[in-house]
């Protein structure tokens, strides 16, 4: 006879105990709060944005007002899928800015997260298309197009470091200006404007692709521009300081290029920049579209200083009077358009024989003429105050500290020099 066994009863599943002490919400990234898109009612395609956070071990969910959609990169016209995609991107960027200890995340994992964040801010396919459009839309020279790309790279690095999406740009101008004024950078006002220009271009492009709202960064206030200029004042030069041009060297260069029409035109450009103290862009513009005014019977070359950004528009023009034979000769070169901008390598090459007379670490470039302008006009018995104005400097200190060649010796004639030296300066 078979023995009866106890009927097996279904055991109730034991409740799952969550060890909240091991990993409580207050110790996780999620505890800082996150956004998510909820469909309500389900199956309708309609959605709302919720914010979930933890406090004292309790979960709190709050519906986000539509007024905040712009900051999150959302628009009410988005579909449910589009809204969820954007909010995931936003959460990923937001979490990445939170500090995590090395014990929680391995170094390789952190690197992969950073790569993911970069591609979220600047997806590879969009970047490629934007760069193509940026270059195609510019009618500038190749050098200018390359600079646009360089500026875009800087804008990308800034957005990545500050964790900013396009809809964050306009409300975080001060943060971006502080980034550009940082000790490691100290960008000029014009450079900052160029970066913001490309950043706005990217913002418009990105937002159109994602059907999101974008408010471009506006013009920098004069107060902000002045603060940028002050921060940059003590920055060490990025490029090597240009060797100042001198008259004796110009004469030697003239002999070297004599007979070569193209080389003579390049020499003429260098000569014009020297006797008028022009920046490269100013020299180009003066040759392309010369403007002469007569003041008290004296002709003056009118030069537009496009590099100046802090001053008002009517203060960007400077007038350089023709006060010597060298300037009169250069003015004829300008009027006949007998000058062509040389390359920096060409300038350095034609001057290299005389480099031994100065610091070997310095070189000649397109600024060498302007660098020699101050001493050239001091030799024409002009005051440093007037030279500073003709050079387009904001203060005489700039002319003295950066454009006066301290290695040259200049002094007024004295009874002693007349008696003891045959050739006194």
Q: Are 388 and 397 in contact, with CB atoms under 8 Å apart?
A: no
Name the band, by pLDDT with cuts 50, 70 and 90, for residue 311: low
Q: Which residue has the higher pLDDT, 120 or 355?
A: 120
Does residue 111 lie within any of the structural domains? no
Summarised one tens digit per residue, pLDDT across range 259-271 is: 899 999 999 999 9
272 and 194 belong to one structural domain: no
Q: Residue 170: is its pLDDT beyond 90?
A: yes
Cα–Cα distance between 361 and 363 in angstroms, integer?
Answer: 7
Q: Which helix (H) or strand (E) holds 203?
A: helix 189-210
Whether residues 64 and 155 fall in one domain: no
Cα(236)–Cα(183) distance, integer angstroms = 11
**DSSP H or E run through 257:** helix 247-257
User: Would you tell me how many other CB atoms lie within 10 Å of the CB of residue 139?
Assistant: 7
Please report which helix (H) or strand (E) contains residue 368, including its range. Answer: helix 368-378
What CA–CA distance (Å, rounded) separates 38 from 45? 10
pLDDT above 90: residue 6: no
Q: How far apart are the C-alpha atoms of 319 and 392, rounded to whole Å?
A: 9
pLDDT at position 326 over 70:
yes
Q: What is the pLDDT of residue 114?
A: 46
Distance of alpha carbon 293 from alpha carbon 298, whole angstroms: 8
Within this chain, do residues 217 and 252 fall inside the same structural domain, yes or no? no
Asked if 252 and 387 sit in the same domain, the reply is yes
Mark whether 275 and 379 lie in a shared domain: yes
Task: Say if CB 197 and CB 140 are below 8 A apart.
Answer: no
Answer whether residue 333 shows pLDDT above 70: yes
Q: How many domains does the chain have?
A: 3
Single residue among 232, 255, 275 that ends a domain in this structure: 232
Residue in 35, 32, 71 with CA at minimum distance from that of residue 55: 32
The answer to whether residue 11 sits within a structural domain is: no
pLDDT, the chain, mean: 78
Q: What is the band of 32 on the pLDDT scale with cuts at 50, 70, 90? A: low
Share of the chain above pLDDT 70, in %: 70
Local confidence band at 69 (pLDDT 50, 70, 90 cut-offs): confident
What Rg do the C-alpha atoms of the chain give, in angstroms?
A: 33
Question: Can you list the alpha helix ranges (DSSP code H) found in 39-188?
Answer: 69-72, 80-96, 107-121, 124-136, 142-162, 173-181
Same domain, yes or no: 176 and 311? no
Quote the domain boundaries for residue 150. Answer: 120-232
Q: Is the pLDDT of residue 355 over 80?
A: no
Last residue of some domain: 232, 263, 289?
232
In a domain, 311, yes or no: yes
Is it the case that residue 385 has pLDDT exceeding 70? yes
Mean pLDDT to the nearest integer, 8-20: 43
Residues 302 and 392 in one domain: yes
- pLDDT over threshold 70, residue 284: yes
pLDDT for 129: 84
The predicted model gives 134-154 an average pLDDT of 74
Tell me the CATH number at 305.
1.10.443.10
324 CA to centre of own chain:
39
Model confidence at 325, pLDDT cuts 50, 70, 90, reads very high
Tell me which of 21-25, 71-75, 382-386 is least confident: 21-25
Task: Give yes or no for a cis peptide into 41 (omega within 30° of 0).
Answer: yes
Mean pLDDT of 55-76: 77
- Rounded-to-integer distance, Cα 229 and Cα 234, Å: 10
Do residues 189 and 306 touch, judged by C-beta distance below 8 A? Answer: no
335: helix, coil or strand? helix
Last residue of a domain, one of 51, 68, 99: 99
140 and 69 in a common domain: no
The residue count of the chain comes to: 425
In this prediction the pTM is 0.48
């Amino acid at each position: 006879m078979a023995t009866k066994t106890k009927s097996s009863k279904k055991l109730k599943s034991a409740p799952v105990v969550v060890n909240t002490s091991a990993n409580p919400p207050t110790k996780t990234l999620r505890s800082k709060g996150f956004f998510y898109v909820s469909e309500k009612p389900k199956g309708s395609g309609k959605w709302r944005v919720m914010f979930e956070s933890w406090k004292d071990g309790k979960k709190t969910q709050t519906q986000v007002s539509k007024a905040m959609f712009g900051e999150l990169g959302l628009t009410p016209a988005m579909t449910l899928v589009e809204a969820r995609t954007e909010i995931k991107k936003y959460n990923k960027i937001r979490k990445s800015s939170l500090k995590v200890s090395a014990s929680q995340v391995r170094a390789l994992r952190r690197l992969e997260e950073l790569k993911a964040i970069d591609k979220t801010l600047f997806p590879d396919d969009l970047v490629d298309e934007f760069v193509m459009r940026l270059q195609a839309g510019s009618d500038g020279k190749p050098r200018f197009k390359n600079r646009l790309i360089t500026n875009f790279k800087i804008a990308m690095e800034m957005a990545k470091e500050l964790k900013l999406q396009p809809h964050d740009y306009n409300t975080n101008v001060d943060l971006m200006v502080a980034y550009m004024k940082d000790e490691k950078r100290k960008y000029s006002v014009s450079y900052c404007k160029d970066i913001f220009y490309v950043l706005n271009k990217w913002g418009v492009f990105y937002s159109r692709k994602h059907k999101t709202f974008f408010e471009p960064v506006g013009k920098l206030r004069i107060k902000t521009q002045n603060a940028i200029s002050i921060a940059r004042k003590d920055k060490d030069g990025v490029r090597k300081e240009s060797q100042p041009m001198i008259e004796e060297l110009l004469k030697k260069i003239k002999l070297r290029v004599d007979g070569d029409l193209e080389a003579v035109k390049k020499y003429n450009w260098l000569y014009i920049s020297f006797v008028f103290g022009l920046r490269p862009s100013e020299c180009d513009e003066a040759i392309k579209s010369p403007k002469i005014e007569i003041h008290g019977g004296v002709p003056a070359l009118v030069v537009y200083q496009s590099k100046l950004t802090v001053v008002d528009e009517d203060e960007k023009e400077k007038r350089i009077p023709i006060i010597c034979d060298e300037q009169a000769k250069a003015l004829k070169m300008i009027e006949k358009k007998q000058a062509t901008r040389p390359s920096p390598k060409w300038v350095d090459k034609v001057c290299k024989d005389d480099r031994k007379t100065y610091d070997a670490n310095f070189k000649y470039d397109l600024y060498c003429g302007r660098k020699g302008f101050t001493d050239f006009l001091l030799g024409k018995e002009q005051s440093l105050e007037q030279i500073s104005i003709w050079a387009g400097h904001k203060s005489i200190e700039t002319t003295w500290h950066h454009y006066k060649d301290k290695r040259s010796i200049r002094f007024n004639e004295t009874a002693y020099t007349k008696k003891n030296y045959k050739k006194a300066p």
